[in-house]
Amino acid sequence: MTENDVAKDGCQAGAATDGKRASTREPRAARPRSATHGAVAAAGLAAFLLALVILRTDRPFGDDVVKSALFMLGMTSAAVLLVDLLWLKAYRRASTGLDFGRDHPSWQRSLFKLAGLFGSLGFVALLYWLFPEYHGDYYDRYYAMLRLVLPPWLALALPYFYFVDRRMARPLDGYWHLGRMVAMQWDKVDARIVGQHLLGWLVKGFFLPLMFTYMCNDLARFLSADFSQLTGFKAWFDLLYGLFYFIDVGLVAMGYLLALRVADTHLRSAEPTMLGWAVALVCYEPFWSLYGRQYLAYDTDFKWGAWLWNTPLLYTIWGSAILLLTAIYVWATVSFGARFSNLTHRGIITNGPYRWTKHPAYVAKNLSWWMISIPFIAHGPAGETLRHCLLLLAVNGIYALRAWTEERHLSRDSGYLAYARWIDQHGMFRFLRRLPLPGRRVAAAGGAGAPA
């Protein structure tokens, strides 16, 4: 609603016609449509938990954690894609770039795209070979997963490219341009498109090993957990806290694997700035070990459990609040369906917790860290208490920068701008519009929304 509309409403509300007060106020603006549906999120979460139950009870793969993790990802992916494709018919959306009234097949274009796929894989493989981080045994489960997944995936790549390419309104995508480069045919190659394409693969190459490895580690713990020991709130807290983050990394790993144009989960664009990459990567290993623990180690040995252990009621209330914040954080991830990915745009999410705030995951996670580490509780010299509080504020500042860079990146999308205007008027933090915050100009222009 524009300012003129508001003024018009005020005049009409004060006018009288035939002795009756007019009632012509504009209807409340509708929330912009989300790239996902709540049913997609519900189906994905239900399938993930069902797969976990099957693995716990039947052990179809024995102690093979990699195959067990792939089973979970397969069930979750199938549930998400069935809802997206069969019910929501996501392949019909204009955002896919597909036109099913078009049928212009080309084996030449498809073969160039296959060459581009091999070039993308070679680019990531070169980085794995180059950097020592990927030479140890930490990522053994990830490499085992690749050995299982890559052969059938590559076998299906050419028919998939051929099917999608013949329906694309603009078939000369990043794979085609990179394929031309691999074939040493430099004419018609757009360096900007190739750069964005490789940035997208750099995101996948960095985050997928981490998330799949985290998922396998969490799955191994849950498969061996003794549920008979769940006899008190502390045991339940530990179980649920671990389960929430297990769900998070599992669905995130699925997101990095399911970048499919036909499902409208493909990459639209990758973060183009060094600042955006820096503030995102510093939050993850191995960069957090290099920088965070040396400069931003806000944690103390005195945690919330030790603080409240002798007051069971407060212990339960405080722990429940931490679990609630963690559940909101995971809810934000679940809401993406198969579209989650750091540093990329894969569709604007406006449902789930994103209907109330632009960055529910960041808000919930950062608040939970304050409640877990309790740096504001004096347990030693006052200077140390202040120091740890300032360090945690610095971590919060990094996430604020992440939010700002994501907003700036996604502001190039008109759908994002529509969501930003809506959340600016109806979000739970709309009162912040009155404060002179950094980035206020971007938000006022519509540069705020949910990263996807």
pTM of the model: 0.89
Q: What is the pLDDT of residue 438?
A: 53
Quick check: 141 pLDDT over 60?
yes
For residue 378, what pLDDT band results from cuts at 50, 70 and 90?
A: confident
Quick check: 28 pLDDT over 90?
no
The whole-angstrom separation of Cα 298 and Cα 373 is 8
Interval 38-56 mean pLDDT:
97
Interval 363-377 mean pLDDT:
96
Interval 194-221 mean pLDDT:
98
Which positions ≥6 away from 39 have C-beta within 8 Å?
Answer: 83, 87, 88
Q: What is the pLDDT of residue 18?
A: 43
Quick check: 387 pLDDT over 70?
yes
Q: What is the pLDDT of residue 429?
A: 87
CA distances from 445 to 4, 417, 430, 436 (A): 17, 8, 15, 15
For residue 127, what pLDDT band results from cuts at 50, 70 and 90?
A: very high
pLDDT in tens, 245-303: 999 999 999 999 999 999 999 999 999 999 999 999 999 999 999 888 889 999 888 89
Q: pLDDT over 70 for what percent of the chain?
A: 89
CA distances from 384 to 82, 99, 376, 403 (A): 53, 62, 10, 29
Highest mean pLDDT among 34-43, 224-233, 370-379: 34-43
Q: In sequence order, what are the beta bridge partners of 17?
A: 20
Degrees to nearest 5, angle at CA 413 with 40 and 400 = 80
Cα dihedral: 412, 413, 415, 419 (round 10): -40
HEC per residue, the chain: CCHHHHHHHHHHHCCEECCEECCCCCCCCCCCCCCCCHHHHHHHHHHHHHHHHHHHHHCCCCCCHHHHHHHHHHHHHHHHHHHHHHHCCHHHCHHHCECCCCCCCCHHHHHHHHHHHHHHHHHHHHHHHHCHHHCCCCCHHHHHHHHHHHHHHHHHHHHHHHHHHCCECCCCCHHHHHHHHHCCCCCCCCHHHHHHHHHHHHHHHHHHHHHHHHHHHHHHHHHHCCHHHCCCHHHHHHHHHHHHHHHHHHHHHHHHHCCCHHHCCCCCEECCCHHHHHHHHCCCCCHHHHHHHHHCCCCCCCCHHHHHCCCHHHHHHHHHHHHHHHHHHHHHHHCCCCCCCCCEECCCCCCHHHHCCCCHHHHHHHHHHHHHHCCCCCCCCHHHHHHHHHHHHHHHHHHHHHHHHHHHHHCCCHHHHHHHHHHHHHCCCHHHHHCCCCCHHHHHCCCCCCCC
Quick check: 82 pLDDT over 60?
yes
Quick check: 428 pLDDT over 50?
yes
The whole-angstrom separation of Cα 369 and Cα 367 is 5
The answer to whether the bond into 436 is cis (omega within 30° of 0) is no
Quick check: 448 pLDDT over 70?
no
The whole-angstrom separation of Cα 227 and Cα 236 is 9
Instruction: Please provide the average confidence, as pLDDT, over all residues in the chain.
Output: 90
Pick the residue with more confidence: 27 or 127?
A: 127
Q: Are 178 and 186 in contact (CB under 8 A)?
A: no
For residue 17, what pLDDT band results from cuts at 50, 70 and 90?
A: very low
End-to-end CA distance of the chain: 26
Angle between helices 38-58 and 312-334 (to 10 degrees): 110
pLDDT in tens, 215-248: 999 999 999 999 988 999 999 999 999 999 999 9
Q: pLDDT over 90 for what percent of the chain?
A: 84
Angle between helices 107-130 and 174-182 (to 10 degrees): 80
pLDDT in tens, 324-348: 999 999 999 999 999 999 999 999 9
Interval 423-442 mean pLDDT:
72
Interval 102-120 mean pLDDT:
97
Residue type for 308, please?
Answer: L
Quick check: 50 pLDDT over 90?
yes
Quick check: 4 pLDDT over 60?
no
Q: What is the pLDDT of residue 430?
A: 83
pLDDT in tens, 187-196: 889 999 999 9
What burial class does residue 307 get, using C-beta atoms within 10 Å of its C-beta: 0-12 exposed, 13-18 middle, 19+ buried?
middle
